[in-house]
Amino acid sequence: MNTLLRDVRSPGWSTAGTSSAIAIFLHGFGSNERDLTGLAPALELTMPWAALRAPIELGNGGAAWFTITTPGNPDPGPVAEATDAIWAWVDAEVGPGIRVVPIGFSQGGLMASQLLRTRVDVALERQNGALLESMDRRARLQLRLQQTVEGLSVAAITYYVVGLVGYVAKGAKAAHVPVEPDVAVAVAIPVVAVTVWFLIHRVRRHFSA
């Protein structure tokens, strides 16, 4: 299947880049890209339009989007290939953010419905990707916040406990116990900090299990 689709474009196609929407005509089985262009005046289209030629050549000027095996029950594979070919044309010829309005007849009508369905699927996929990315950012932010809170907790608890050690050491010195409060505080700081850090992480692992 040739995926480089040929087309016929409206006289005003040069303004397609500034338009909010463009129309795409998709002809039926055995017809050609000029078959539906007469609908543009009848529909009073003000937007730019393009009429695409189906990729499968049938001879005598006709073309098809996919071969017919069982009438009314097309093979999903060729239909998907034709849909991809149309989207490849759209991606190459239509600017981002421009709405595509498909208009089709017979096989082209089926392709038009395929475009609408697959565009919804693509939109949902992008939304899901954005949601997952947002959740990942929130998880990283929550982790950083948790680590910050843990660090502050270790510092605050260590400060409080070391203060108590200092008070106890001063009381012991006043009771003529041979201990220097400053030395006791200096020794207590790393011991208390490591102990508090270990206990906080142990509690966190317990509740995360």
- 172-204 pLDDT per residue, tens: 778 777 878 788 778 888 888 888 888 877 777
Strand order from edge to edge, sheet including 49-52: 7-9, 49-52, 21-26, 99-104
7-105: CATH number: 3.40.50.1820
Which single residue is written with the structure tokens 């339009």?
49
Q: Quick check: pTM over 0.75?
A: no
Kindly list the domain boundaries of the chain, sorted by start residue.
Answer: 7-105, 137-208
Q: How far apart are CA 72 and CA 164, in angstroms?
A: 85
d(CA 122, CA 120): 5
Among all chains, which residue has been given the structure tokens 């030395």? 183
Tell me the pLDDT band of 145, cut-offs 50, 70 and 90. low
Q: What is the pLDDT of residues 35-89, one digit of tens each?
A: 999 899 888 888 999 999 999 999 899 999 998 887 777 888 889 899 999 988 9
pLDDT the model gives residue 123: 52
| Residue of 118 and 131 predicted with greater confidence | 118
**Sign for the pseudo-dihedral over CA of 76, 77, 78, 80:** positive
In angstroms, the CA 1 to CA 144 distance is: 53
